[in-house]
Structure 1
Amino acid sequence: MNRSWKNFLIAEHATFKDEGDIVFPSISPDSDKHIYAIPDLAVLTVAGNDAAKFLQGQITCNIDDITETQSSLGGLCNPKGRVITTFLLVKKIDAFLLVLPKALLGSVRDRLQKYILRSDVQLTDSSDELCLIGLSYPSGQPGGLSLPEQLFSTSQQDAAFINLSPEQNRCLVISEPETAATLWTAWTGDHGFQPQNSEQWRYLDIIAGLPWLTPETSEEFIPQMLNLDKLGGISFNKGCYTGQEIVARTHYLGKTKREMFLAECASSSTAPEPNMAIIDKSTGMEQTVGAVLMAQARQNIYRMLIVLQVSDANTYNLALNNQDQDKITLLAL
């Protein structure tokens, strides 16, 4: 994280916890406009004359559909079609920005570097030059912005604003540090946004069904198991890319054995860890039928994204495979 941006947040009463979360003092329970500093996502810039062609051969979404006014979710797969990372792809004038989990940035950059060969492509970790801010608001436009209402629609003014969830009224802001500080001051001062803890932004990502991966879940699932097809993150009419054969075969067979679901549990022990096994107790055999993708607590209840074997009977008796076998309830995404 950029040093001046971090110092600015500290001056705004932010506390940086050891695990990387950013915590602010308690806010008014009546507040419905929140602003978040996001520390667990990073930005990888892909630039050069061959950047678009290079990415087209590596990612699941169609680079030709990405414009300065339309971003997209996507995935980077290994040759077996397993997703190494999910990302949000944003186009700038002369480059592409991949917003992805910070814990995976190094391995993703190294993986992509192997495929560049003689192409005119530069990969840059821009996490120190660009700041990520989240906004959530009740309705209308945030802070006087004119933001299109479609999913992943993008407005680029002094910063890039990406609509993450029309239903939730959320947007992600990508900005240089000086501009980020100016915007933060304006939103908290003039527009009534109150700073909120970064872990609550992850909670909103979960209930919106955004499937961010971790080192534990990287290369475990094909894109359809993460609902990337339903989120517009897979193109089935573009050219070949790494892992494309497996992804296309699954699509044209018409059925995925596993899908992503929203779920909750009241864990009596520790937080459900990424890739923790999920068991089905309905048969009395405690069969492993899925795994946790990500989890975040609010008021002692964990909301989770889980990848689960699809049941034709749609009957489950799900529990975490932990010491207490905490019961899992499926929710509608």
Structure 2
Amino acid sequence: MPPFSLNHGFTSLTHWGLILVEGPDAAALLQSQLSNSVVSLKRTMLGHIARGSDSVRLVGYCSPKGRLLSSAWLGLFPETVDSDDRFALFVSKDIAASTAKRLSMYVLRSKVKVVDASDDWEVFGAYQNEDASQSTNPPKNSIALGMPDVLVQDQSFQRILIAQKKLGATASSVDQASLDQWNSLEVLSAIPRIVLATQEQFVPQMINFESVAGVDFKKGCYPGQEIVARSQYRGAVKRRLQLMHIDNNVSALALSKPGVELFQASDDSQPCGMVVLAATNAVDSDRIDLQVECKLDAFEIGAIHLGARDGPVLTLDSLPYPLLEI
């Protein structure tokens, strides 16, 4: 496969949303609800890019049964130096409202406000590799955080999520080529993102959440924490996120959607997995890359099919990171 043709890009991400959690008790609220610790996050001022694990965290929000309701990239962005804490959570837009509503249920008498800001703020994605001639400078009053780099065929791509207040009712235009490459990079990162179709489908470890620093096992309690901890220390997880790909055609494209189930030809009684994210490869349009959650023993039995027992056959690829032992 040839290298990516675009060494940098910038586009509106209409499928991403933003939740803002602000107030003196904001950190305490999120610490009690999310899978990762937030109390040690460094502040990042508007117009600057939050980078590194001390300023950016991948977090999960679980149900009491330990199933992920949402995932988010989180940073701390006060309006001014003297302002109260304001946390920004970049989430899938189709679950932003329900996630904000659920967080609001636990505010009670705390001094904190939870707002789904997806209608008032627009989310953008910027990426570049080491060959890019210019660096990304976010707008003055924007919220921006750096996501983990993605290594694709010896090219390392930096990725930045940027949120900016809308100036009017008209949304910014989408650069389709940049959007395709952004989505392709996200899938190839093997870092999952929960969408509406996959809500409450996965315990964090089933999609490698602990292996991509999305779970802090030393923090205090949060919804589902006992189940997540039990899965980790008792070796109860027999499913994992894997990267796979498939030849692009009409039927494969229709099936390459989050929530579509995976099957084995030898067992059609129940699915063996599910699509987490998928995107057409930005370089090879004849290829679709997929993040899938699948039973570990399924790979030892035979071919894995997309959508049905006789559906298109998926090909297994390597993960870009090691899995933590469970």
TM-score by length of 2: 0.78
In structure 1, C-alpha distance between the alignment counterparts of 2:208 and 2:146, rounded to whole Å: 18
Write the distance in 1 (CA, Å) between the matches of 2:14 and 2:113.
24
Contact (CA 8 Å) 1:275, 1:292: kept in 2 or not? yes
* Pair 1:246-2:191 in alignment: no
Q: Partners of 2:6 and 2:231 in 1: how far apart?
A: 45
Q: Name which of 71, 86, 109 aligns with 2:71.
A: 86
**Partner of residue 46, structure 1:** 21
Quick check: 1:276 aligned with 2:260? yes
Residue range with higher mean Cα deviation, 91-100 or 79-88: 91-100
Q: Distance in 1 between matches of 2:8 and 2:139?
A: 22
CA distance in 2, matches of 1:156, 1:50: 28
Seq. identity, % = 26
1:142 and 1:96 map into 2 onto residues whose CA distance is 32
Write the distance in 2 (CA, Å) between the matches of 1:196 and 1:320: 26
The separation in 2 between residues aligned to 1:258 and 1:230, in whole angstroms, is: 13
Q: Which amino acid aligns with 2:69?
A: I
One of 245, 263, 269 as aligned partner of 1:264: 245
| Counterpart code for 2:261 | A
Matched, 1:285 2:267: yes
Note the C-alpha offset of 1:92. 0.9
Q: Which residue of 2 aligns with 1:302?
A: 288
**Cα contact 1:60–1:74 (8 A) shared by 2:** yes
Match of 1:19 in 2: none
Structure 2 counterpart of 1:173: 161
CA distance in 1, matches of 2:277, 2:108: 35
Q: Distance in 1 between matches of 2:118 and 2:299?
A: 46
Tell me the distance in 2 between the aligned counterparts of 1:144 and 1:294.
28
Structure 2 gap segments, 5+ residues each? 44-49, 79-84, 320-326
> What are the residue-to-residue correspondences of 1:230-245 with 2, within 5 Å?
230-245=211-226
How far did residue 142 of structure 1 move? 7.3
Aligned equivalents of 2:139 and 2:35: distance in 1?
24
Looking at structure 2, the residues matched to 302 and 77 of structure 1 have their Cα atoms a distance apart, in angstroms, of: 29
Distance 2:184 2:163 in 1: 23
Residue 299 of structure 2 corresponds to residue 317 of structure 1: no
Letter in 2 for 1:125: D
Q: How does 1:196-207 map to 2 (within 5 A)?
A: 196-207=177-188
Q: Which runs of 5+ in 1 are unaligned?
A: 1-28, 147-154, 185-193
- Aligned pairs for 1:56-95 (under 5 A) are 56-68=31-43, 69=50, 70-93=55-78, 94-95=85-86
Q: Which amino acid aligns with 1:285?
A: D
- Corresponding position of 2:316: 330
**In the alignment, is residue 210 of structure 1 matched against residue 191 of structure 2?**
yes
Residue of structure 2 equivalent to 1:104: 95
- The answer (yes or no) to whether the contact 1:264–1:331 under 8 Å persists in 2 is yes
Secondary structure, aligned partner of 1:229: helix
Secondary structure of 2:27 counterpart: helix
Q: Distance in 2 between matches of 1:142 and 1:195?
A: 21
Partner of 2:81: none
C-alpha separation between the residues in 2 aligned to 1:30 and 1:249? 45
In the alignment, the residues of structure 2 paired with residue 314 and residue 330 of structure 1 have an alpha-carbon distance, to the nearest angstrom, of: 12
99-108 vs 200-209, which moves further: 200-209
Q: Deviations over 1:187-211 (max 9, x none)?
A: xxxxxxx873534322211111121
* TM-score, normalised relative to structure 1: 0.76
Secondary structure in 1 aligned to 2:209?
A: coil
User: In the alignment, is residue 36 of structure 1 matched against residue 24 of structure 2?
Assistant: no
Please say if residues 128 and 159 of structure 2, whose CA atoms lie closer than 8 Å, have aligned partners that are also in contact: no
Q: CA RMSD in A?
A: 2.7
C-alpha contact (below 8 Å) 2:18/2:116 kept by paired residues: yes
Matched, 1:137 2:121: no
Q: Aligned residue for 1:229?
A: 210
Is the 8 Å Cα contact of residues 45 and 125 (structure 1) preserved in structure 2? yes
> Is this contact kept in 1: 2:242–2:316, CA < 8 A?
yes
1:55 is aligned to 30
Give the length in aligned residue pairs. 282
